[in-house]
């Protein structure tokens, strides 16, 4: 088993380039099933989730080649989705909408992903039902079939990102107009819609809570560069706030009004946004803050664990309220081993302490694992983070990027 070994206490200085967005690339890879023309995705991040989505595409006889520039081509042929691959990531659920659009039916083994909550797909299924898809739920799988391929109107009771993407994947090739209400407004959804539009899809209202899709009979190939990864970008910003120092991030995925920037400023950081870059200067005196996660434009749940690390390093007590995933807090148990003071009750936690010391800690999921990397970089002494494979799901070589900023971090086999 590998581990990250970190000698903490070095401030971060220099510049770092962020990858393209994991959460934008994954639905685009599923979207490649919708055409037999060539799809080229430029600057794809070299992360495990992308590799698994490429393997899933090959199940349908598509060739998905290349690392940084991924080219997907070939006829999409009907096939069974293997459960061992679907169990590896949540985004495998996106083959639901894509397969229904292309083949009219699909048997989807229930998707996996990080253990940060129950993560059911009931909203995907009830929305598809209301568009004329029959759904049979079995033990560990769901079988869906198109009974009438027509548009319609769907109202999502919660703006699920995955359900919104599945509805888009399904309805772009439907007949007539589909009105999608209560949908997710995340920037990755807007980017995914731009990608689909570059294939010839007709969609209005991306970024708003109602979108209108006018079905087309075929989609064409495209070449597309996904947006920068706002979560990776945010992770480096928070890392600098945690360790101290001053860094420049090339490839800004954040918008001016992003709540992360407001929270970091509340903590005392100075931030300057430029065109496709962002600079941060950490504060010596870290002030406490409060945040409440929620669907966009609320604070991103994916950035919450890293802010938990910052809270543990800040003066006073910070309040973290998690409203999206019920098991997001598992990283806090590990932070406590490093000296954080935590009072947790249900979906909120008060976190403080002011300093961290090194320890051997366990990543339980992708973003919780990233929070522990930040903790190790900021702690006094040596930290070993076990289970880096969770971190590999969303970050391209963080040890190299952090080392280029002056951190003492290595990836090594754990003895
Ligand atoms: C996506 C992101 C993930 C991010 C999340 C919220 C990808 C690949 N992943 O995940 O990084 O943290 O959005 O911004 O883009 N839910 C249900 N029933 C459903 C669907 C969702 O109860 O049918 C619940 C989930 O259990 C969760 C909440 O709704 O508690 C949010 O889920 P959703 O927005 O669907 O997130 P994902 O698409 O899984």
Q: What is the per-residue pLDDT across 52-84, written as a single tens digit (0 to 9) for each?
A: 999 999 999 999 999 999 999 999 999 999 999
Q: Which residue, by CA, sits nearest to atom 21 of ligand 1?
A: 160
Whether residue 369 is found in the same domain as residue 290: yes
Q: Considering only CA atoms, which residue is closest to atom 15 of ligand 1?
A: 23
pLDDT digits (tens, 9 = 90+) for 242-272: 999 999 999 988 888 999 999 999 999 999 9
Q: b/e string for 260-287 if b means 16 or more Cβ within 10 A?
A: bbebbeebbbebeeeeebbbbebbeebe
pLDDT tens digits along 203-243: 999 999 999 999 999 999 999 999 999 999 999 999 999 99
- pLDDT score of 118: 61
The predicted structure's pLDDT at residue 126 = 95
- The 10 Å Cβ neighbour count of residue 80 is 12
Number of H helices, E strands in the chain: 14, 23
- d(Cα 314, Cα 301) in Å, to the nearest integer? 20
Q: Are residues 14 and 26 in the same domain?
A: no
Helix%, strand%, coil% for the chain, nearest 5: 35, 25, 40
pLDDT value of residue 113? 59
Q: Out of 224, 259, 277, pick the residue that ends a domain.
A: 224
**Residue 14 and residue 31 in one domain:** no
Q: Which two tokens stand for residue 281?
A: 């200067």
With pLDDT > 70 as the criterion, what percentage of the chain qualifies? 98
Instruction: Please give the model's pTM, rounded to 2 decimal places.
Output: 0.96
Q: Hey, CA dihedral for 232, 234, 240, 241, is it positive or negative?
A: negative
Say if residue 264 is in the same domain as residue 185: no
**Alpha carbon 100 to chain centroid, angstroms:** 24
Q: How many alpha carbons lie under 13 Å from residue 415 in its C-beta half-sphere?
A: 1
Q: Can you tell me which atom of ligand 1 is nearest the CA of 188?
A: 15
Structural tokens at position 231: 């979560």
Q: Report the pLDDT averaged over residues 173-193.
A: 97
Ligand 1 centre distance from Cα of residue 184 (Å): 10
Catalytic residue list: 114
How many whole angstroms separate alpha carbon 161 and alpha carbon 167? 10
Q: How far is the CA of 277 from the centre of ligand 1 (A)?
A: 28
DSSP conformation class of 262: H
| Residue that is last in its domain, among 224, 241, 261 | 224
- Average pLDDT for 373-382: 98
Q: For ligand 1, atom 38, name the residue with the nearest CA.
A: 162
Q: Is the pLDDT of residue 320 over 80?
A: yes
Nearest CA, atom 20, ligand 1: 121
**With pLDDT > 90 as the criterion, what percentage of the chain qualifies?**
89
3-state secondary structure at position 280: strand
Residues in the ligand 1 pocket, defined by CB under 6 Å = 23, 26, 90-91, 117-124, 158, 160-163, 301-302, 324-325
Residue ID of nearest Cα to ligand 1 atom 17 = 120
Closest ligand 1 atom to the C-alpha of 118? 26
Cβ atoms 305, 341 nearer than 8 A: no
Residues 216, 261 within the same domain: no
List all residues 6 or more positions away from 126 whose beta carbon is below 8 Å from its beta carbon. none
| 330 and 267 belong to one structural domain | yes
Atom of ligand 1 nearest to the CA of 89: 8
Residue 70, helix vs strand vs coil: strand
H-helix or E-strand spanning residue 336: helix 330-337
User: Both 83 and 146 in a single domain?
Assistant: yes
Span 338-359, pLDDT tens digits:
999 999 999 999 999 999 999 9
CA 160 and chain centroid, separation: 13
pLDDT at 115: 62
Best probe residue, ligand 1, of 161, 229, 395 (max atoms within 8 Å of C-beta) = 161
Q: Does residue 173 sit in the same domain as residue 321?
A: no
Where does the pLDDT of residue 1 fall: very low under 50, low under 70, confident under 90, or very high at 90 and above? confident
How do beta strands 105-109 and 2-7 pair?
A: unpaired
pLDDT of residue 348: 96
What pLDDT score was predicted for residue 243?
98
**For residues 128 and 170, is the Cβ–Cβ distance under 8 A?**
yes
Alpha-helix runs per DSSP H in 94-215: 95-103, 122-129, 161-171, 187-198
- Check residue 43 and give its pLDDT: 97
Q: What is the pLDDT of residues 112-151, one digit of tens each?
A: 655 655 668 999 999 999 999 999 988 888 999 999 888 8
Q: Which of residues 176, 207, 224 is at a domain's end?
A: 224
Pairing of strands 317-321, 348-352: antiparallel
Give 110's pLDDT tier (boundaries 50, 70, 90).
confident
CATH code at 136? 3.65.10.10
Q: Are 8 and 49 part of one and the same domain?
A: no
Residue 390 is predicted with a pLDDT of 94
Ligand 1 pocket test: which of 324, 370, 395 has the largest number of ligand atoms within 8 Å of its C-beta? 324
**Mean pLDDT, the chain, whole residue set:** 95
Judgement on whether residues 145 and 234 belong to the same structural domain of the protein = no
- Split at pLDDT 50, 70, 90, the class of 295 is very high
Find the mean pLDDT for residues 353-372. 97
Distance of CA 81 to the CA centre of its chain: 22
Reported as a pLDDT band with limits 50, 70 and 90, residue 415 is confident
Count of domains forming the chain: 2
Q: Is residue 367 located within the same domain as residue 277?
A: yes
Cβ(72)–Cβ(63) under 8 Å? yes
User: So what's the pLDDT on residue 94?
Assistant: 96
Q: Do 102 and 12 sit in the same domain of this protein?
A: no
Report the pLDDT value the prediction gives residue 140, as an integer from 0 to 100: 84
Range of the domain at 266: 2-18+228-413
Atom of ligand 1 at shortest range from CA of 186: 14
Q: Choose the weakest-confidence range: 44-48, 85-89, 99-103, 352-356.
A: 85-89
Q: How far is the CA of 413 from the centre of ligand 1 (A)?
A: 33
């Amino acid at each position: 088993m590998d581990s990250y070994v970190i000698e903490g206490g070095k401030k971060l200085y220099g510049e770092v380039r962020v990858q393209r967005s994991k959460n934008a690339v994954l639905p685009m890879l599923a979207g490649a099933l919708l055409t037999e023309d060539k799809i080229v995705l430029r600057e794809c991040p070299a992360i495990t989730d992308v590799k698994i989505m490429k393997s899933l595409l090959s199940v349908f006889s598509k060739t998905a080649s290349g690392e940084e520039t991924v080219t997907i081509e070939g006829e999409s042929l009907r096939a069974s989705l293997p459960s061992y691959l679907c169990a590896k990531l949540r985004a495998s659920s996106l083959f639901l909408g894509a397969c229904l659009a292309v083949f009219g039916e699909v048997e989807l083994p229930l998707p996996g992903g990080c253990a940060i909550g129950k993560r059911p797909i009931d909203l995907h299924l009830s929305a598809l039902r209301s568009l004329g898809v029959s759904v049979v739920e079995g033990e560990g799988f769901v079988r869906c079939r198109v009974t009438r391929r027509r548009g319609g109107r769907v109202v999502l009771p919660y703006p699920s990102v995955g359900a919104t993407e599945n509805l888009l994947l399904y309805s772009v090739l439907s007949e007539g107009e589909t009105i999608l209400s209560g949908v997710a407004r995340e920037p990755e959804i807007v980017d995914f819609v731009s990608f689909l539009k570059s294939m010839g899809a007709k969609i209005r209202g991306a970024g708003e809570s109602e979108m209108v899709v006018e079905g087309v009979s075929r989609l064409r190939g495209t070449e597309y560069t996904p947006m920068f990864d706002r979560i990776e970008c945010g992770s480096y910003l928070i890392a600098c706030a945690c360790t101290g120092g001053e860094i420049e991030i090339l490839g800004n995925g954040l918008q001016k009004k992003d709540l992360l920037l407001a929270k970091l400023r509340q903590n005392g950081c100075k931030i300057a946004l430029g065109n496709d870059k962002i600079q941060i200067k950490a504060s010596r005196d870290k002030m406490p803050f409060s945040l409440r996660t929620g669907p966009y434009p609320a604070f991103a749940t994916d950035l919450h664990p890293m802010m938990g690390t910052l809270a543990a390093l800040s003066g006073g007590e910070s309040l973290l309220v998690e409203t999206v995933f019920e098991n997001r807090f598992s990283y806090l148990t590990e932070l406590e081993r490093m000296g954080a003071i935590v009072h947790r009750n249900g979906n909120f936690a008060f976190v403080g302490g002011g300093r961290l010391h090194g320890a051997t800690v366990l990543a339980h999921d992708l973003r919780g694992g990233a929070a522990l990397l930040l903790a190790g970089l900021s702690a006094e002494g040596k930290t070993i983070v076990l289970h880096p494979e969770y971190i590999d799901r969303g970050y391209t070589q963080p040890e190299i990027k952090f080392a280029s900023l002056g951190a003492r971090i290595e990836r090594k086999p754990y003895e």
